[in-house]
């Protein structure tokens, strides 16, 4: 079983990071964090597809990323790390 205390730590880290950029909407924040994590970790979770109009659609699939790995990344972004 995963440690339930990870939930509060993850939420606190997100809050600390989001306060630094309060004009971002929540999903913009999450997208940016996923993009930056992916870029720094061998493009982890990167999903690309080409739409019918020819535009490339980019997203991130973090379904299998363990919380402790993402928490470690979020810690590295905070002032109190």
Please determine, for residue 30, whether its predicted confidence score (pLDDT) is greater than 90. yes
Torsion of CA 33, 3, 15, 34, to 10 degrees: 10
In the prediction, which pLDDT does 79 show? 73
In the prediction, which pLDDT does 26 show? 98
Please determine, for residue 59, whether its predicted confidence score (pLDDT) is greater than 80. yes
Domain count, the chain: 1
In the prediction, which pLDDT does 46 show? 97
Note the helical H segments in the chain: 5-19, 26-40, 67-77
Could you tell me what percent of the chain has a pLDDT over 70? Answer: 98
Domain residues for the domain of 48 are 5-77
Instruction: Summarize the confidence of residues 1-21 as an average pLDDT.
Output: 95
In the prediction, which pLDDT does 50 show? 94
Structure tokens at 76: 């590295």
The alpha-carbon radius of gyration of the chain (Å, integer) is 14
The average confidence (pLDDT) of the chain is 95
């Amino acid at each position: 079983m995963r440690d339930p205390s990870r939930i509060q730590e993850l939420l606190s880290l997100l809050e600390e990071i989001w306060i630094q950029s309060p004009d971002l909407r929540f999903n913009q924040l999450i997208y940016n964090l996923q993009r930056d994590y992916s870029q720094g970790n061998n493009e982890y979770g990167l999903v690309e597809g080409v739409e019918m109009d020819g535009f490339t659609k980019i997203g991130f699939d973090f379904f299998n990323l363990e919380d402790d790995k993402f928490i470690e990344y979020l810690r590295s972004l905070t002032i109190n790390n």
